[in-house]
Amino acid sequence: MKKILVIALGGNALIRRGQTGTFEEQVENVRHIAPSIARLTSEYRIVLTHGNGPQVGNLYLQQECAREIPAMPLHACVAMTQSLIGYMIQTAFSLCCPGIRVNVIPTRVLVDPDDPAFSNPSKPIGPYYPESNVENLAKKGWRLVYVQSRGWRRVVPSPKPRGIVELEQIKASVENSEITVAVGGGGIPVVDRGRGLEGVDAVVDKDLASSLLAVLLDADLFVILTDVEGVYREYGFPNQVLIRELCCKEAKRLLEAGYFPQGSMGPKVEAAVFFAEKTGRRALIGSLDRLEEVIKGESGTVVRRCVY
């Protein structure tokens, strides 16, 4: 039986800097990394997760431009982009690796309706709006924050993932497909208030949801891919240093000290620590363009459970 590998693709897997995000661009970007992923199927059963921030933002902008058409709630937009991105991934693999079976599973993620995030929305989504739009947007019940020199932007809750609703379907797919795409965009957030599962307007961090999925699948390896080589000390400063290995205790200390911002590397380190502590296995953080080197331990940052 092949091992299970969960790979969390960063946003740059689909839309690179400077691109507009056309369908063709996104498919071509996945085609660029597909051969590396395909080669790993000789040893692993692979689960791919992915972000959807730019895609949800574009969908919201489309809705703003077509106001005579009823707008979809955020959780529905997450579902729509899950399927769209899954189709893009299937298309990319069919063009360059036609023998690889790719199964896409739209995935709901259970969150706690009492999560503190619901009373303190902080996750920015969608486009920036001018001052003239603020009053009308506030009437929708949106929470908006001002970003210097950019404009106003909507912020939504980002609750912690508590469960994967389609876990059994994902397990079955892993047994029968080389690649399974699931938990896209962190999953469609749903709550259970005693009358069935209902979608809520929130965004679940994709790395935290991917880590939970990796634990529940009892994955052998969890990899988070991004647009930098790994985790750095003093990132962005002339004295920045790549951290090649982190034990969970040290990683948590650095998280608490604010070394890793919540808007960038923080959730990735937190997700890696969660997987390593729960399973005792390696979590890796590295560059999207160096996947095979990251897997071999030749690049990136390794997060391990402490042995002392």
Query: So which residues are the catalytic ones?
Result: 11-12, 123, 206, 268
Contact 179, 100 (CB under 8 A): yes
221-303-48-289 Cα dihedral, nearest 10 degrees: -110
Extract the runs of DSSP E, i.e. beta strands, from the chain.
3-9, 44-50, 102-104, 108-111, 123-129, 143-147, 151-156, 161-164, 179-181, 188-192, 197-199, 221-226, 231-233, 241-243, 245-247, 283-287, 301-304
Q: What's the first-to-final CA gap in the chain, in angstroms?
A: 32
Q: What residues does 286 pair with on adjacent strands?
A: 225
Structure tokens given for 262? 């919540």
Q: What residues does 44 pair with on adjacent strands?
A: 3
Distance CA 272, CA 268 (A): 6
Distance CA 236, CA 46 (A): 33
Q: Is 248 in a helix, a strand, or coil?
A: helix
Residues with Cβ within 8 Å of 248's Cβ and at least 6 positions away in sequence, in order, are 273, 276, 277, 303, 304, 305, 306
Distance CA 304, CA 76 (A): 36
Report which residue type is found at 201.
D
Residue 100, classified by CB atoms within 10 Å of its CB into exposed (0-12), middle (13-18) or buried (19+), is middle
